[in-house]
Structure 1
């Protein structure tokens, strides 16, 4: 159980769901261990958040455990999306723990957002990778089948075709350099330019842990140097979280000493604290 997620399901304002899918992860697999590691390394945190004057254990969070994954990604995503729609139907906010980035598609389908905000080292705008249209390298492309616009924060890698797709009107990129220079304000500006009324736009937030520099979070499948700092990711998440209708932390694996899982757990808590403070 995620520490502090102690309320019953029917009383929850936030529901954590683990999705340990690990079928298309490239280079370093192990995302099947991500949900449990995030829960494990959250155990070191204080319950109290001084920025919002709240206790995590008082914010009506429930941990529903994991939805057991199987090898058919398309079928699994359909099933997982139904689970997350049930959370939404109960007027709670779904919080998804991956698992590979493919699971984000389920969250997006459940929320049906106007805006998809994604922290990621990679553009993930491929139509397929190695013949697999359900690869984790296709997530933003698939999200745009549901969302009207994608704001991708921290991307620094992609194929030539992906960079061309990223130039379309329904994609906005916020580079690591822009975040380093202007902080979360760069993301707020991008969102304001992407949708007419950010405050009322339905929004889904996805945090691929590889958006962080690998020196910060080495426990991920496809590391890409030149990424965001932990503080920058925290500030972006806290800035976006008050308006989200669903969120996830994905691509954490077991190939480090807990750095990636610790950052993922902290960002999940940051999102809940920021969202609850504005609710």
Structure 2
């Protein structure tokens, strides 16, 4: 039946190639929202982001480039044990280790923000000078949250334990407890509220280093991205985040994730579409 092959491909991200060995980047979905503290639903994001990606063109006017000749592989979603946080993190870490061992760039789609931690653990082992860039409404620097060390509210604190002091760069932060901001003053490069201007100011400090980027979709104002578990008014526009992402090609990106999209909280699908567009620009930057 004509077009049936297209239907079969809708489980993969836009223009994903079939050859793992020849790929430069590998996409992995993680349907996990076990530690989400407000509204659940991010486990549904990897599938939805792939689905809506078929509404995008493979050509990007932001970068004047196309996905047609880019080599990246969509490995599908990890099979993780429901509710078992530690075992799930082990599985994520093993997947990241395999991708890195094969000389490829891990690109993870969450899922909740905690998935960043096991991926960064492995990336930092390979790249000791690693710098991490976080786009987020929330600091995520608590040491514990409800007495738990492993949470989407503690993830960047755990990341700081994997990388060198002051190698975390945070943009768009507009929410957190006082202790998080005190920690950031000593150990991270935190930029409050604004995204594009401070990112451009820090670009020279990031060039030449291996860089891992984590994008929490709630860095964007909920007017543009309502489909997230912990929406925080006062964020950047979708236009602004895409302008920032278009600058990623100036960096040596060795790992990436996009997290906290919650499709059930956005029937318009505009949050998932924005996430898919960010992912398209990222793939154009690294492949």
How many residue pairs end up in the alignment?
266
Task: Give the structure 1 partner of residue 212 of structure 2.
Answer: 204
Task: Give the structure 2 partner of residue 174 of structure 1.
Answer: 191
* Residue of 146, 160, 167 corresponding to 2:162: 146
Q: 1-side partners of 2:284 and 2:181: how far apart?
A: 34
* Residue of 85, 98, 123 corresponding to 1:73: 85
* Residue of 39, 53, 57 corresponding to 2:50: 39
Task: Give the structure 1 partner of residue 71 of structure 2.
Answer: 60
| TM-score normalised according to structure 2 size | 0.88
Structure 1 residues 227, 267: closer, same or farther in 2, change over 3 A?
same
Structure 2, unpaired ranges of 5+: 1-11
Q: 2-side partners of 1:275 and 1:231: how far apart?
A: 21
Does the aligned pair in 1 maintain the 2:114–2:151 contact within 8 Å?
yes
Structure 1 residues 247, 224: closer, same or farther in 2, change over 3 A?
same
- What value does the CA root-mean-square deviation take over the aligned residues? 1.5
Query: Deviation of residue 166 (structure 1)?
Result: 1.2
Q: 2-side partners of 1:175 and 1:190: how far apart?
A: 13
Does the aligned pair in 1 maintain the 2:25–2:286 contact within 8 Å?
no
Deviations 1:198-218 (A, max 9, x none): 333121100000100011111
Moved over 4 A (4+): none
* Residue of 111, 119, 129 corresponding to 1:107: 119
**Does residue 256 of the first structure (1) align with residue 256 of the second (2)?**
no
| TM-score normalised according to structure 1 size | 0.90
Structure 1 residues 253, 272: closer, same or farther in 2, change over 3 A?
same
Query: Deviation of residue 48 (structure 1)?
Result: 1.5
Superposition pairs of residues 184-263 of structure 1, within 5 angstroms: 185-193=197-205, 198-241=206-249, 242-254=251-263, 255-257=265-267, 258-263=269-274
Q: 1-side partners of 2:178 and 2:35: how far apart?
A: 21
Does the aligned pair in 2 maintain the 1:15–1:87 contact within 8 Å?
yes
